Chain A
Amino acid sequence: MSISESATQEWTVATVPRGTPVDIVAIGTEAADLLMVHGIRPGARLVVDSDAPFGGPCIVRVGRSRVAIDRRLANTIRVEFAVDDPGAATR
């Protein structure tokens, strides 16, 4: 999977390449509130850090916080590659 495919491919937190800054496009309604209190909301920027073993949660970085998200939920978070200011990714 190369980044150039991004225009045609729908990425989610569960599938997007690790370590790349992405912006959240939309979040499935089921867990929107649960994720919002951790700053995970449409428009926010995040980096998927790593995955817990045995198909466990995805660990994402939002701002300075790290949040573990159940894989099924992670799949409901649609993201796209961040295009603007790359420095913002670390926030």
Chain B
Amino acid sequence: MTTLPAVTTPRVAWGPADELGTDTETMDATDRLPVVALVGRPNVGKSTFIARVTGRYEEAANVPGTTVGTVRQQVRVGGRDAVVVDLPGAHSLTDQSDGLPPFWRLLLEARPDAVLVVIDAGDLAMHLPLVLACRDLGLPIVVAANLSDEADAHGIEIDIGRLSQLLAAPVHRTVGRRGTGVHAALADAIRAAERSRRVPRDDIRPMISIPPYPSELVRSVGSLAARLRAGDGAPELSPRLAGGVAEGIVRPIAAATLARAALLEPERWALAARWADQVERRDTVRDTLADRLGRVVTSPRLGLPLFVITTVGALWLTMIVGTELAALLSNAWSTAVSPLLIGVVETLLPVPVLSATVLWALDSGLLSMLAVGIPFVLTFYLVIAALEDSGYLASTAVLSDRVFNALGLPGRAAIPLLAATGCNVPAIYATRVLQSRRERLLASFLVSLTPCSAASAVVVAALAPYAGMPTALAAFGVIAVVAIAAGLGANAILPGRQSPLVLELPPLRLPIPRQVVAKAWHRFRSFVTTATPVMLGGSLVIGALYETGAIGPIEMALAPVSTGLLGLPPVAGIALVLAILRKELALQLLLILAIAEYGLAASSLATFMVPGQLFVFAVVTGLMVPCVATVGALAGEFGWRRAAIVSGATLATALGTGALMARLVGIA
């Protein structure tokens, strides 16, 4: 079901002063391919939709671990070339998350010639306001009434022709999952884009004489646009909007509708509700299995047990699969790659100190990426992506909201904190799901205190064999209590207040395996590119310190802290410091250094540390130090000053706890 597009692109006229032709867009029409921007509310299936055309599951969505921004892709549909700009899901043009420009800026910066708005065919009242807002910007629009299959399943049918008439824009019925109507919709949008770029602005005459808003509002928007076009000052424009106009990114009519958004938006919603009534035909609205399941997972009685089962299950699955994968990869490395690497390096660098140092980086550095970083992080990403695509993750955010409120965080903070148990680096990026800088900083502090899989491995390996598994669990208990207390403290200290939760619960859907894999892979790639250089560099530094014997003086300098404060042997101090570079090496380093210092008799931790010392060592390692990669991620997200504050607070918390524990167990 497709309606033919109007011959000329329909434009909305904002009153008599509206002269679209006076906009001077100097961009070269022949040079550039037509640009179609893809806009839609979150969870409307936009990424699935575009993947049908490009065959690539890139994501631009505002979801954990992803780069929030736009993805430009060149496509060829029906023999026409165009650039499709995929934008993150948005509820309105004025949507804004921390540290990012508002949505309208992302949209207009892409300089679209047309906008393809993807909406939910079964929920027009909710989705039409965004369509109207895009149209009000003065851009040609094409609408994809997506998720038509779900609408059918709910017994909702829409009159596409009538909707198209009301919107004065082509509307296509689509099912992104199956690809139905996707190409037709995009081809139509590309045609609209080509038209809007080919036809000089002067020739575009408004098709709809009056936008369907109250005339007073239309006049006010129209006159503001006219003033802007004439170059008159408009004090009602926000600095950002005025900047956009000055840069030529925001055309006068767009600036005027954005400036009046607070007045226009209620009208759009009211109009959407009226139009939805006219266009929708529903017999009896049916509840689907997904609807009922969706209610079960948030129900007070069943929701919590399900949440606990899912969380534990996800972590358990990550551990099981990760361990298998780690064994496989490290075996392959030490049998196939390592001997070869050692041979090559020793031949090329005949100086033993040099070759040994380089091998620290290349051999053991890469091995630890393979054995610790990759298996657990990749598995975790797969599990999270599946949960996310199923729509369940949003439910967990709602269930845990009250708990996280105590820490000054919304329930969504569960996502980065879960991720942190795998690796802190992606968890820091995942704090982007939070809205304010305050929440992100608080969450990042908790993330830094959360033992990653590498630190957890150290805690278990240091305690389980020598002091028993219950002691290891007790160490985790101490870490959890301290992290929560520190979180409470940070929430009390940090000025500002938590933003209240308003979160749409997406319907539960079966995840599409290909999309899950693509999403996990996409994030994994960015993890590998961030973490690998740090891992190599850190190993190189450790290697150099160790091989040149520079470690001795450092050890002496650290003695007041390691021995005086924490009651640990001096070697343990240096192991803790080097753990900043390679966390998972804390224990191995401790052994290696101990053997170097005390001789082969020290090949077991128990020979030079009593259980109490091991306990303190484990707790401090678990809490301490964001590793170099984490500090880097913090700096990238918040700047060096805040990264230093968060790292410092983490370090202080760890040392303070260690000192307290040392006194409690009687070793200092």
Where the two chains meet, the residues of A that have a C-beta atom closer than 8 Å to any C-beta of B are 31, 33-39, 41, 43-44, 49-57, 59, 62-70, 72-73, 90-91
User: B91, A38: Cβ atoms under 8 Å?
Assistant: yes
Q: Quick one: which of A34, A59, A72 contacts B398, CB cutoff 8 A?
A: A59
Given contacts A43-B270, A59-B398, contact A35 B298 (CB under 8 A): no
Q: Lowest 4 A-B CB distances belong to which pairs?
A: A70-B500, A37-B91, A56-B402, A54-B402
Residue of A nearest to B401 (CB): A56
Q: Quick one: which of B92, B94, B299, B402 contacts A50, CB cutoff 8 A?
A: B299
CA A59 to CA B506, docked complex, whole Å: 12
Question: B270 — which chain A residues lie within 8 A by C-beta?
Answer: 43
Contacts A38-B502, A39-B269, A67-B503 known; 18 new A-B pairs at CB < 8 A: A35-B502, A37-B95, A44-B269, A52-B300, A53-B304, A53-B399, A54-B402, A63-B126, A64-B122, A67-B502, A67-B505, A68-B298, A68-B398, A68-B401, A68-B503, A70-B501, A90-B285, A91-B125
Given contacts A38-B91, A52-B398, A53-B399, contact A68 B502 (CB under 8 A): yes
B266 at the interface (CB under 8 A from A): yes
CA A37 to CA B125, docked complex, whole Å: 11
Question: A64 — which chain B residues lie within 8 A by C-beta?
Answer: 120, 122-123, 126, 154, 156
CA A64 to CA B504, docked complex, whole Å: 11
Residue of A nearest to B397 (CB): A68
CA A69 to CA B295, docked complex, whole Å: 15
Given contacts A39-B126, A63-B126, contact A50 B295 (CB under 8 A): yes
User: B398, A65: Cβ atoms under 8 Å?
Assistant: no
The residue in B154, B265, B502 that gathers the most chain A C-beta atoms within 10 A of its C-beta is B502
Q: In whole Å, how far is B396's beta carbon from the nearest beta carbon of chain A?
A: 11
Question: B505 — which chain A residues lie within 8 A by C-beta?
Answer: 59, 65-68
User: A54, B154: Cβ atoms under 8 Å?
Assistant: no
User: B500, A41: Cβ atoms under 8 Å?
Assistant: no
B484 at the interface (CB under 8 A from A): no
B303 at the interface (CB under 8 A from A): yes
Q: Which of B287-332 contact A (CB under 8 A)?
A: 294-295, 298-300, 303-304
Q: In whole Å, how far is B435's beta carbon from the nearest beta carbon of chain A?
A: 10
CA A51 to CA B398, docked complex, whole Å: 9
Where the two chains meet, the residues of B that have a C-beta atom closer than 8 Å to any C-beta of A are 91-92, 94-95, 120, 122-123, 125-126, 154, 156, 262, 265-266, 269-270, 273, 285, 294-295, 298-300, 303-304, 397-399, 401-403, 411, 500-505
Question: B500 — which chain A residues lie within 8 A by C-beta?
Answer: 31, 34, 69-70, 72-73
User: B402, A63: Cβ atoms under 8 Å?
Assistant: no
User: A57, B123: Cβ atoms under 8 Å?
Assistant: no
CA A34 to CA B220, docked complex, whole Å: 25
User: A36, B398: Cβ atoms under 8 Å?
Assistant: no
Q: Quick one: which of A36, A52, A65 contacts B266, CB cutoff 8 A?
A: A36
CA A61 to CA B72, docked complex, whole Å: 35
Given contacts A36-B266, A65-B504, contact A52 B123 (CB under 8 A): no
Question: A53 — which chain B residues lie within 8 A by C-beta?
Answer: 300, 303-304, 399, 402
CA A50 to CA B94, docked complex, whole Å: 30
Question: A35 — which chain B residues lie within 8 A by C-beta?
Answer: 502
User: B298, A39: Cβ atoms under 8 Å?
Assistant: no
Q: In whole Å, how far is A25's beta carbon from the nearest beta carbon of chain B?
A: 15
Residue of A nearest to B399 (CB): A52
CA A39 to CA B295, docked complex, whole Å: 20
User: A69, B501: Cβ atoms under 8 Å?
Assistant: yes
User: A57, B501: Cβ atoms under 8 Å?
Assistant: yes
CA A37 to CA B269, docked complex, whole Å: 9
Question: A50 — which chain B residues lie within 8 A by C-beta?
Answer: 295, 298-300
Question: B273 — which chain A residues lie within 8 A by C-beta?
Answer: 44
Residue of A nearest to B266 (CB): A41
Question: A52 — which chain B residues lie within 8 A by C-beta?
Answer: 298, 300, 303, 398-399, 401-402
Given contacts A50-B300, A52-B300, A66-B294, contact A39 B125 (CB under 8 A): yes
28 contacts across the A-B interface (CB closer than 8 A)? A33-B94, A36-B92, A37-B92, A38-B504, A39-B126, A39-B269, A43-B270, A49-B295, A49-B298, A52-B298, A52-B300, A52-B303, A52-B401, A53-B304, A53-B402, A54-B403, A55-B402, A56-B398, A56-B411, A57-B398, A57-B503, A62-B126, A64-B123, A64-B156, A67-B502, A68-B397, A68-B502, A90-B285
